[in-house]
Structure 1
Amino acid sequence: MMKLYKLSPSPYVRKVHVTLIETGLIDQVELISGANSPLDPDPALTALNPLGKIPALVRDDGGTLYDSRVICRYLDHVAGAGLYPETRVWDVLTLEATADGMLDAALAMTYEARFREGEKFWPEWVEAQWVKIARALAALEGRWMSHLAGPLDAGQIAVGCALGYLDLRHDARGWRNGHPSLARWYEGFAARPSMQETVPKG
């Protein structure tokens, strides 16, 4: 049985968890939760992933995969689920990268507030990260809605998890303002059983 090392409420872990459900592989993976922090990585995790990041997937043959994009692509390959359809694979990968870039910026904002308190806190850095997210939201609203409305793929899963993380950690920013089509899409996508089952807590 494969093993997935995870930590809630990581949005990258959620991407993999949703993919496991959507591909029907969830019963073939043991979910292992642990404590991990950029300043205090779990030794069990660093033994699997030298970067000390989650998620990490230990395959049946003992090899370990890490980075959510790599893991999701692998799971789709194993299941033959078609979440990276060859006819539009570059669009799917670009959309997934856009969503992951949003997450990178959102996490940088979260970590800045969590680990750099008082005079060390850098508000200009935080705002610069939000500008990246704002540009990505505008791109999604302006040119990706027809793709998001199409058949389920890995790009949609990534966008759904990214928007969910904005709700969790940066809800006060009101990402829905000015993005009505994206907000309507997310309302429907968030109702999927795989998204409901993986709603982060805490």
Structure 2
Amino acid sequence: MRYVFSNQKKLIKHLRKGNTAAYSYLVDLHYKKLCDYASNLARDNFKSEDIVQNVITRMWINRKKLSPDISIKNYLYKSVYNEFIDQYRKEIAVTILEKKYIEGLETIIEIKDIPETNKLMTLVQNEIEQLPPRCKETFLLSKQDGLTYVEIAEYQNVSVNTVEKQMVKAFSILRKKMKEKVMSFMFLLFNIKSS
């Protein structure tokens, strides 16, 4: 039996109570339009679906905080926009961080010093091998194979958010285990391999 919640206050009341029929109704009513809106923002169908899924899931998790007086439609569209901005900022932050390491490389390491370079390559590869399996796979798909987060998410059948978390985890583990000099070398190494 399909429920129709014509009154928004009634819909919010049922959502707050955890009524899954109300949630299904909400998804059926707004999902495609929200994906279209997110796609206009992100210019990427996979990322747009990920954004909408994050928003709708988060809304369900926090459903008890929904105000009976809000416009659900406005709330969802604003949340999609905010999620897009958050993801965009994360991507920019990672790109800036990588660029910073690569730009500072000349002052830290002399590539002409082949024995030192070989030693660093071995150290970096050993540390990458020690990463947790999924984390290692994600890291290598990005840094060695040059795949985007969206491509990795599609390949691994996970969300882009999951890929981002795996990359943050990989960088965090590697930073703790390796000195700044080795981290900078790692960025150069994978920049060369992926180009």
TM-score, structure 2 length as denominator? Answer: 0.26
TM-score by length of 1: 0.25
Q: Which structure dedicates a bigger proportion of its chain to strand? A: 1
Whose radius of gyration is greater, 1 or 2? Answer: 2
Name the one with the larger helix percent: 2
Q: Relative contact order: is structure 1 or structure 2 higher (C-alpha 8 Å, sep ≥ 6)? A: 1
